[in-house]
Chains A and B, each alone.
Chain A
Amino acid sequence: MGLRSFTHRSTHGGASLPALSLVALLAVPCAGTTAPAGDGASTTAIEVASVPSDPAPVARMRALDQRCRSAIPATTFQQAAEALSQVRAAIGRLCSIELVGDTPLQWRVSCGADDFFASGRHEFGSPTACEGGTNAFECLGHGLRSMASHLDSIDVAVVGHVDLEPPVNQRLDCRDLRDGWAESPWPRVVRNRDRANERLAWCRAARAADSVRTGLGGAGTIRVASVGLASQWLSTRMNPTAEGATCPAPTTEADVPADGRCQSARRVDLLVRLAAEPSAATTACTRQGDTPADVLYCLEECAARPNASQSGLSNPPAFLGGNATSVQPRPGIFVTRTAGSPAVELDAVLRRLQL
């Protein structure tokens, strides 16, 4: 038999009555007897029951499965590749087109300004024939037209560059282009040729942007940012006062580096982002049911799909919106966006344009 044991009692008081009674009974004085070795005291059983588990997060697993199966439809990529080839065929002679990030959903288009604008002007010169329009920018918009209905939006950032040779017209202004933006590029025109040169960069960008919209013909949603980057591109590549300075490639015979006159610096760059709508994949789970085993099966089925080249493509990061809440003003640089467009992440634009 075990040790003498006593009923467990409350810890907040003295000995419990049953316990003491028991002790008293065990140790009750009996003349001529020794104290008995007590056994068999009653005990209070402590029952421990299992606690039920929470239900499995089936809904969350379903969401994971949907996320796995949700992707930009393959047809979007096919169409984007088709549009890219079409645009390239249309304006490839005038502008270079490259993919940004190996996705057909983001393009970098660079055009020489001299092909479209006369010196010191922001109006288009003679038409540059291409399929779908009268200039490369309009043709670019036209090439995107077939894609527009399959996209959430088309984001276009147009960046105008000038060299260091200022225009003759120190009051240069493009009043006809200043409407329709969320903000005015400049509050007032400053009579100064250098300032006019800065305005010229924006005006050319705005003109190109306007043409892209014209080419789209109202199809889909387009969000445009127009950036006048002045001569920053050239300034970071050439110091005209340095001895033996040369213009950045490609150079032409008309370049005069000492005067800051470089054809390569007179350009318009466009960053085109096609924002597609991810959708539930065409491949639904082959197993029905909402048990934990069912949702695990579906998740594995989705994850186990073969990984083919390019199949992991997703929307490229946005350059409109993001963390930027407003345009950060910089001297000589004008940034505007179409009304209703999110703020422009200028650094993201310049980085992707490799400027």
Chain B
Amino acid sequence: MTRYVVWGGALLACLGFGHSTASAQAAQPRCFGGEAVASAPVVLGDRIQLDVDCEYSRDPDEGFRTLRDRGSITSLLAGLGWNPGDQTTVYGRRRDLPAEVSSVFLHHCTDYLLQAGGAFSVAPAATPGALDVRRRAASCGAASVALQFTCRNSREGLTAQLAPGADTVSLPVCQAGWDVQASAAGQPPYALGRVAPGGETPLQAAMRAENTTLLRPSWDGERGFRFVPAGDDDVWAELRTALAAGAVRVVRKRGATPRTACDDETAEEIPLVVTAGGVAFDEGWLAGRMNEQYGENGTRFAPTLGWLQALANESHLCMNASYGARGGASQGGAEPQRGAQTHIGRSFPEVAAVASIGERFATAEVCLTHRRVDVTPSGQVPRTDRDHDVECAPAPETPLFVGLTGSSLRIPDGTVICSGRETVEAGPLTRGFYDVRVATQGACAAPATVSLGRVGIVDAGVDWIPRGVQRHSNGADAGDIPGWQGVQVDDPNTFARSRRNDALTFELATPEGFAAAWNHPSTGAPTLLSRATPYVGASAGPGHSPLPAMYTMITADPECPLSGEPTLRGAGESGPDEVVHVHLISDDGRGKRCLARAAFKSWDPRVVGNVGNSDRRQLRIGFLGHASLGVFFSKPSPAAIGIALPIFYTDLHLNAGFVFELSVPVTASIAWEDGRASRVSPALMASMSWGWPEIAPRLITAGFAIHVPWPHPDDEVYSFFVGVDITSLIELLGGR
């Protein structure tokens, strides 16, 4: 059966060929097989009969010469030095009639033999990149034409041929395409052109091309950061569609090449939100990553610029090699399956111009103008000495700041201050945690942006808590500073403390999420924000590594211990009635700052009552007061040496270190003249003492006493007393 078909086809071809040749020759002009002076087209299979009386040229006006033994248009052209691209017309004239020029030319249909709809069809073969060529019509001399295919740039000289009697030929893969020549009956070939495997879609071509940027970072828009299309609209439309179809994905795989990352099923796929305007990382996914980083408060954070750049730098854009129309694993139109076929992988930074993410804010700064306060029993008093201390830091580093309420931020253009999901103004800040984000108004709800600074604002009256100090519900109350409620008051500017029972230890509360932001390793903060604000001396704080972000220093003078040479005190080191100053100091790694200050006066523990509103002038009632060693001037004369220890006393602090005291002391003395005991009894004494309040509050005491004349009734019941304060001396010498 096959044989009959082949022979039948050959016969038909021969008939067609013969018909074509006969009709062509009959219509040929003079000098080309006919008689009429005319111009006629010929196809590749047409026979041409030259006339010995004629001469031929490719120019109608000149260059005519004799030709012999040429039977086709291509051999004629070859004989006249034709080159591809030249006109395919040959002119002929009889030598005796040079003005009567005839011509034949290659029929223009020849150039379209391979075109769609032409005599030969070209279709994709089953193997991707391979082609099937089929002889589908006999028009334009195609029936007798043989096609010769030569692979371009083939080192092996890859060729194929469609013989005149054959209907199909399969061309193997030749990416550069095939040069095609047509010839008939062994005549010189004619170049038909080129056939090549089909092209690619705009996105496929863009993905294969080098240095193609499909996206670029953008900070515009309501929803923060995204990648917007960088080039051709068609490519962008296809990319959107491919993302929706799952044919394009973004995966994250640190240290992998695009190819390995795209083929690795364990690579993390990054969910995207694709809108008409661009591509953004999915906010829910981002929130999850923030929670992973910062704990349960992660949703309060936007990623840092560094984190976002790292994410983009570790990502890859993966595209299925085919949408299913072209061979391969998904041939037959099946849905492309991840991992079921090869991918075209491109580094995400390459296709998305990730390097430019930080360009816009490369030189931007975030600045915090600090507010400083004194925490006093009557409230927080702003300090005016260094009230406008501006601290700035580069925005790309997402700096961390800590400040007090009332501080204010200065932020770069194009950023907003977010508190949770709310946008706040840049004025004086209330207590809270603030994220400076690249966004427009209303974008605080979107974490798909970047944080350029994080600021924790604490309230010194609320968050700075004197943990080691006893609270007294019946004492004077620092009512408008909640964290200090119940702390005893010495005067409106000074808190009181008992040296025995109260320790100058403090704690710090911070706004929600702030400690997580501060302490996360990725933030690079060199200090640790902890609940305790440890006392530290002049050197680094003991037992804290890394250094505390907030700590306490105690000084004898009110100056901030960061300047000059302060007189530092230990947490419990203060003399009776001595005033010390406690400083809340921040250390963010860029510098240390005294943010808040409170003054404490050490009270004698035997004082049971206090009336007065001044450090100097106050009336106290106590027991077991200051013991004095001195001389009683009276009878027995000239004097008696002894001590006086007040059992109960009340004293009045006056200016210049003077203290007036009324007391009921126990006295005991030895008479100077005979060494006998004298005045061993309770007494009633009025005295005036003087001392140096900050060093030794009482040094010298002079008074008048009335006492019982025991054991010698002869002694006077009164005496004048001059002595030194033993208690102060002991304190002065370092004792307690």
Tell me the minimal C-beta distance from B618 to chain A in angstroms: 22
Contact check, A3 vs B531: say whether CB atoms are below 8 A apart.
yes
Beta-carbon contacts under 8 Å, B427-486 to A: 429-433, 445, 447, 459, 462, 465-475, 477, 482-486
Contact with B along A232-261 (1 / 0, CB 8 A): 000000000000000000100000000000
Nearest chain-A residue to B457 (Cβ)? A11
Contacts of A96 in B (CB 8 A): 60
Contact check, A74 vs B41: say whether CB atoms are below 8 A apart.
no
Contact check, B238 vs A61: say whether CB atoms are below 8 A apart.
yes
Contact check, B108 vs A306: say whether CB atoms are below 8 A apart.
no
C-alpha spacing A337/B473, complex, angstroms: 107
Contact check, A309 vs B180: say whether CB atoms are below 8 A apart.
yes
Nearest chain-B residue to A2 (Cβ)? B515
C-alpha spacing A57/B273, complex, angstroms: 14
Beta-carbon contacts under 8 Å, A87-113 to B: 88-93, 96, 98, 104
Contact with B along A116-146 (1 / 0, CB 8 A): 0000000000000000000000000000000
Contacts of B471 in A (CB 8 A): 27-35
Check B609 for interface membership: any CB of A closer than 8 A.
Answer: no
Tell me the minimal C-beta distance from B78 to chain A in angstroms: 21
Beta-carbon contacts under 8 Å, B247-293 to A: 247, 271-276, 280, 282-287
Tell me the minimal C-beta distance from B718 to chain A in angstroms: 42
Nearest chain-B residue to A25 (Cβ)? B482
Tell me the minimal C-beta distance from B418 to chain A in angstroms: 10
The one of B195, B299, B422, B507 that contacts A307, using a Cβ cutoff of 8 Å? B195
Nearest chain-B residue to A83 (Cβ)? B108
C-alpha spacing A300/B429, complex, angstroms: 57
Check B109 for interface membership: any CB of A closer than 8 A.
Answer: yes
Check A73 for interface membership: any CB of B closer than 8 A.
Answer: yes
| A27-B482, A35-B466, A308-B116 as given contacts; A88 in contact with B241, CB under 8 Å | no
Contact check, B325 vs A298: say whether CB atoms are below 8 A apart.
yes
Contact check, B467 vs A78: say whether CB atoms are below 8 A apart.
no
C-alpha spacing A47/B288, complex, angstroms: 10
Tell me the minimal C-beta distance from A40 to chain B in angstroms: 12
DSSP class of A's interface residues: helix, strand, loop or mixed?
loop
The one of A2, A305, A311 that contacts B115, using a Cβ cutoff of 8 Å? A311
With most chain B CB atoms within 10 A of its CB, the pick from A78, A286, A308 is A308
| A29-B486, A93-B37 as given contacts; A54 in contact with B276, CB under 8 Å | yes
| A64-B237, A88-B39 as given contacts; A46 in contact with B420, CB under 8 Å | yes
| A34-B471, A304-B199 as given contacts; A29 in contact with B117, CB under 8 Å | no
| A56-B240, A299-B201, A303-B198 as given contacts; A48 in contact with B283, CB under 8 Å | yes
Contact check, A300 vs B204: say whether CB atoms are below 8 A apart.
yes
Category for how many chain A residues contact B: 35 or more
C-alpha spacing A10/B529, complex, angstroms: 24
Check A85 for interface membership: any CB of B closer than 8 A.
Answer: yes
Contacts of B284 in A (CB 8 A): 48-50
Beta-carbon contacts under 8 Å, B486-535 to A: 486, 507-512, 515, 529-531
| A11-B422, A50-B285, A57-B237 as given contacts; A81 in contact with B107, CB under 8 Å | yes
Contacts of A37 in B (CB 8 A): 467, 507, 531
Contact check, A93 vs B39: say whether CB atoms are below 8 A apart.
yes
Tell me the minimal C-beta distance from A182 to chain B in angstroms: 33
Nearest chain-A residue to B194 (Cβ)? A309
Contact check, A27 vs B473: say whether CB atoms are below 8 A apart.
no
Contact check, B196 vs A297: say whether CB atoms are below 8 A apart.
no
Contact check, A305 vs B124: say whether CB atoms are below 8 A apart.
yes
Contact check, B512 vs A7: say whether CB atoms are below 8 A apart.
yes
Contact check, B462 vs A15: say whether CB atoms are below 8 A apart.
yes
Nearest chain-A residue to B198 (Cβ)? A304
Beta-carbon contacts under 8 Å, A70-89 to B: 71, 73-75, 77-78, 80-82, 84-86, 88-89
Contacts of B473 in A (CB 8 A): 29-31
Contact check, A300 vs B201: say whether CB atoms are below 8 A apart.
yes
Beta-carbon contacts under 8 Å, A299-328 to B: 299-301, 303-311, 313
Beta-carbon contacts under 8 Å, A1-47 to B: 2-15, 19-20, 23-24, 27-35, 37-38, 41, 43-47
Check B38 for interface membership: any CB of A closer than 8 A.
Answer: yes
C-alpha spacing A90/B103, complex, angstroms: 11
C-alpha spacing A130/B422, complex, angstroms: 87
Contacts of A24 in B (CB 8 A): 482, 485
C-alpha spacing A15/B405, complex, angstroms: 11
The one of B195, B202, B445 that contacts A309, using a Cβ cutoff of 8 Å? B195
C-alpha spacing A107/B283, complex, angstroms: 60
Residues of A at the B interface (CB closer than 8 Å) are 2-15, 19-20, 23-24, 27-35, 37-38, 41, 43-58, 60-61, 64, 71, 73-75, 77-78, 80-82, 84-86, 88-93, 96, 98, 104, 250, 286-287, 291-293, 295-301, 303-311, 313
15 contacts between A and B (CB under 8 A): A4-B509, A29-B485, A43-B512, A45-B299, A46-B421, A50-B284, A71-B116, A74-B112, A78-B117, A86-B41, A293-B323, A297-B333, A304-B325, A309-B193, A310-B111
Residues of B at the A interface (CB closer than 8 Å) are 37-41, 60-61, 87, 89, 101-103, 105, 107-109, 111-112, 114-118, 122-124, 131, 139, 177, 180, 192-202, 204, 223, 234, 237-238, 240-247, 271-276, 280, 282-287, 296-297, 299-300, 322-326, 333, 335-336, 419-422, 424-425, 429-433, 445, 447, 459, 462, 465-475, 477, 482-486, 507-512, 515, 529-531
